Amino acid sequence: MAWVYMLRCRDGSYYVGSTIDLERRLAQHQAGEGASYTRRRRPVVLVWARETASVRDAFLFEKQVQNWGRAKREALIRDDSAALRALASRRRPGP
pLDDT tens-place string over residues 29-86: 999 998 999 999 999 999 999 999 999 999 999 999 999 999 999 999 999 999 999 9
* H helix or E strand, kind and range, residue 70: helix 70-78
SS3 95: coil
pLDDT at 88 (0 to 100):
85
Would you say residue 76 lies in a domain? no
Would you say residue 75 lies in a domain? no
Would you say residue 88 lies in a domain? no
Residue 20: pLDDT over 70: yes
What's the CATH code of the domain at 47?
3.40.1440.10
pLDDT at 29 (0 to 100):
96
pLDDT at 55 (0 to 100):
97
CB 57 within 8 A of CB 64: no
pLDDT at 90 (0 to 100):
66
Q: Do β-strands 45-52 and 14-19 pair in parallel, antiparallel, or remain unpaired?
A: unpaired
β-strand partners of 7: 15, 46
Would you say residue 79 lies in a domain? no
> What residues make up the domain containing 19?
2-67
Would you say residue 47 lies in a domain? yes
